[in-house]
């Protein structure tokens, strides 16, 4: 999303610059040679059209709705364009260390797959929460979940994270379905 | 609380881009909502049936000083043009990688190019046991330069040990070479990137 915001920002800047240039140009031209106006933008036609349609016409309402929705999309893009880094404690002054949620998930996933009775596992991680989904053949969810949760928590405590994420574990086991 | 220079060096700042995109979006939402409110007749059924370019508003503008209106319009247009171009150029500009100035005195200027320092730091970092790959960049401004290290660790290596080595050996050497006591550094670790090598 971050590259999208940079792109949007560029396009919006260009649009504002173009609108400003046209406004200044048209007004100056109209001031200098009123008889030969308009120069580029057919604004007298636009003026007549706008004078002919009412606020409650469908075209105006649809345009307003489209502008509103476009604005909401811009808001959404701006809000979601933040970094999701996982922070470590600073080892020294003016040294800041972070990692990506993906690499945290990779470490937890490798650790969980090494455990006994785990066939496969998928992990998603953020700075606040680590979700583990493990598949086991031999163990029930009841038996395996506390073990996995404990060992993942111990692993995370070994890492010098500024905040310890909550750990949630789900075990998928055929023995639970019998 | 102001961010430290090392925290700022973690990634390129998107604050301006996000702010202008957010503001534009907010303006568009407010504009659309206002037009809908008028068009749906919530400000009175009579208001909703008036033309969009209202003769009352046109008359009001006609009664103003014509010169003043034109000057205001032209100034507004030029201001929009300049700010739009600045905004566009700012978004497109690549991130700066400043050289590091060791001595600012006139006649004694001494500058270490950013590629020289980053190349040295990268070689030192990659020599550490457990590091598979490193990327180093000088970021920030000339007055407040900082280093950004992107370090890939082998699976099973202890991040504490690695960053102690980075702080002692790599950054310590860089600080000593540059003759500074503090060198703001942002480190991005990628954990478990390569398979651990096993002895068979």
The per-residue pLDDT for range B83-137, each reduced to its tens digit, is 999 999 988 888 888 887 777 777 777 788 888 888 988 998 888 888 888 899 8
Structure tokens at A173: 């086991």
- Residue A130 C-alpha, separation from nearest chain B C-alpha, in angstroms: 16
Among B6, B39, B84, beta carbon nearest to A13:
B84
Task: Say yes or no: A13 contacts chain B, CB-CB below 8 A.
Answer: yes
Q: Give A-chain residues touching B35 at CB under 8 angstroms.
A: 55, 60-61, 63-64, 67
Task: Say yes or no: A17 contacts chain B, CB-CB below 8 A.
Answer: yes
Strands A129-135 and A120-125: antiparallel
Do A17 and B80 lie within an 8 Å CB cutoff?
yes
pLDDT tens for each residue of B153-169: 888 778 788 888 888 88
| pLDDT of amino acid A115 | 85
Measuring CA to CA, which residue among A86, A89, A171, A175 is closest to residue A131? A171
Among A65, A78, A110, beta carbon nearest to B21:
A78
Task: Say yes or no: B86 contacts chain A, CB-CB below 8 A.
Answer: yes
Do B6 and A103 lie within an 8 Å CB cutoff?
no
| pLDDT of amino acid A44 | 86
Do B10 and A71 lie within an 8 Å CB cutoff?
no
Strands lying side by side in the sheet with B145-154: A86-87, A95-99, B185-194, B145-154, B131-140
Torsion sign (Cα): A25, A30, A32, A36 = positive
Find the closest chain B residue to A92 by CA distance.
B167
| pLDDT of amino acid B34 | 93
The mean pLDDT value for A8-13 works out to 91
Number of Cβ within 10 Å of residue A98's Cβ equals 19
pLDDT above 90: residue A48: no
What are the φ and ψ backbone dihedral angles of B143, each rounded to 5 degrees?
-75, -35
Mutation target among A20, A110, A130 for the B interface, most CBs of B within 10 A: A20
pLDDT above 60: residue B43: yes
Task: Say yes or no: A89 contacts chain B, CB-CB below 8 A.
Answer: no
Number of Cβ within 10 Å of residue B182's Cβ equals 13
Q: 0.90 exceeded by the pTM? A: no
- Residue A101 C-alpha, separation from nearest chain B C-alpha, in angstroms: 10
Percent of chain A predicted with pLDDT > 90: 25
- The Cα A6–Cα B15 span in angstroms is 10
pLDDT above 60: residue B198: no
Among A6, A21, A68, beta carbon nearest to B17:
A6
The mean pLDDT value for A55-75 works out to 92
pLDDT above 90: residue A173: no
Measuring CA to CA, which residue among B120, B191, B184 is closest to residue B151? B191
The mean pLDDT value for B70-83 works out to 94
Measuring CA to CA, which residue among B112, B98, B88 is closest to residue B175? B112
The model's confidence at residue A178, banded by pLDDT at 50, 70 and 90, is low
Mean pLDDT of chain A: 88
| pLDDT of amino acid A19 | 95
pLDDT above 50: residue B1: no
């Amino acid at each position: 999303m971050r590259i999208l915001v940079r792109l949007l920002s560029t396009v919006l800047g260009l649009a504002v610059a173009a609108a400003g240039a046209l406004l200044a140009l048209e007004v100056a031209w109209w001031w200098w040679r009123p008889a030969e106006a308009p120069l580029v933008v057919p604004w007298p036609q636009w003026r007549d059209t706008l004078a002919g349609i009412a606020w409650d016409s469908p075209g105006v309402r649809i345009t307003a709705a489209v502008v509103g929705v476009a604005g909401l999309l811009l808001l959404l893009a701006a809000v979601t364009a933040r970094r999701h880094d996982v922070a470590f404690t600073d080892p020294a002054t003016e040294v800041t260390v972070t990692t990506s949620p993906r690499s945290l998930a990779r470490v937890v996933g490798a650790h969980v797959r090494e455990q006994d009775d785990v066939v496969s596992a998928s992990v998603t991680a953020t700075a606040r929460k680590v979700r583990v989904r493990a598949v086991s053949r031999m163990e029930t969810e009841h038996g395996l979940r506390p073990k996995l949760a404990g060992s993942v928590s111990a692993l995370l405590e070994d890492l010098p994270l500024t905040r310890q994420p909550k750990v949630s574990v789900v075990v998928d086991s055929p023995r639970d379905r019998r | 609380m102001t961010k430290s220079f090392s925290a700022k060096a973690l990634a390129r700042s998107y604050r301006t881009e996000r702010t202008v995109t957010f503001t534009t979006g907010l303006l568009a939402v407010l504009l659309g909502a206002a037009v809908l409110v008028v068009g749906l007749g919530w400000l009175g059924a009579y208001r909703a049936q008036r033309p969009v370019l209202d003769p009352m508003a046109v008359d009001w503008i006609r009664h103003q000083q014509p010169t003043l209106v034109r000057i205001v319009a032209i100034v507004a247009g030029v201001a929009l043009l300049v700010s739009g171009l600045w905004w566009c150029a700012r978004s497109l500009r690549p991130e700066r990688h400043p050289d590091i100035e060791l001595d600012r005195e006139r006649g004694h200027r001494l500058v270490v190019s950013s590629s020289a320092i980053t190349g040295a730091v990268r070689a030192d970092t990659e020599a550490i046991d457990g590091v598979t790959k490193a990327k180093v960049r000088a970021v920030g401004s000339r007055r407040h330069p900082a280093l950004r290290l992107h370090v890939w660790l082998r699976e099973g290596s202890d991040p504490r040990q690695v960053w102690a080595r980075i702080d002692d050996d790599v950054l310590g050497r860089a600080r000593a070479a540059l003759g500074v006591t503090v060198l703001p550094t942002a480190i991005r670790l990628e954990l478990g990137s390569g398979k651990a090598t096993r002895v068979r």
